[in-house]
Homo-oligomer: A and B are copies of this chain.
Amino acid sequence: MKEDTNRIRPKHAPPARLDDKDRTLLGLLAEDSTRSYAELGNLLNLSPPAVHERVKRLRQDGVIKANVAILNGAKIGRPLLTFVHVDTTSWAVTRHLLVLKELPEVEEIHTVTGESAMLLKVRTRDTQALEDLLERIHSIEGFKGTRSYIALSTYLERGPSPVASE
């Protein structure tokens, strides 16, 4: 199954064993990963090497997937955020949507429950660029239609946070 290579399925990722220090550490890093191990150590009552070992372990276990810079969509020329529900004639067609991964304006691709098969999160320069993208999607065989929801204001946007307790 070549198509499954880059798929993220919950069943493939059993929860890791984390203690309270791990969880607060993850919360701190999910908020700001530029903090030094010394600073984190102060907040956790640990020495810098101890914090380092925990981070290293969390990385190896795949709990920390990556460290990335969060860019301001508007300031990099993509002020328009849109959620696109994609209707298909059959589930097999969803495979063809993976070509959209190569497009820089496409940020998320999910298969979802409900009346449409897939959900996209896309960020474009303007409505024209959104239209171009929708045109491209409709050109692929097996697509019935799309429903787009344009984000007017964004009040919160962050990544996954660790649960408070075990």
Residues of B within 8 A of A79 (CB): 10, 13, 15
Interface bits A128-166 vs B (CB < 8 Å: 1, else 0): 000000000000000000011111111111111111100
- Is A2 at the interface (CB under 8 A from chain B)? no
- Chain B residue at smallest Cβ distance from A71: B160
Which residues 52-109 in A have Cβ within 8 Å of B in the complex? 61-81, 83, 85, 97-98, 100-101, 104-109
What's the nearest-Cβ distance from chain B to residue A85, in Å? Answer: 8
Given contacts A15-B77, A74-B15, contact A104 B164 (CB under 8 A): yes
Other-chain residue from B34, B125, B163 in contact with A67 (beta carbon distance below 8 A): B34
Contact B8 A75 (CB under 8 A): no
Residues of A within 8 A of B (CB): 6-10, 12-16, 18, 23, 26, 29-34, 61-81, 83, 85, 97-98, 100-101, 104-114, 119, 123, 125, 147-164
The answer to whether A109 and B163 touch across the interface, beta carbons within 8 angstroms, is no
Known: A81-B110, A160-B107. A68 touches B31 (CB 8 A): yes
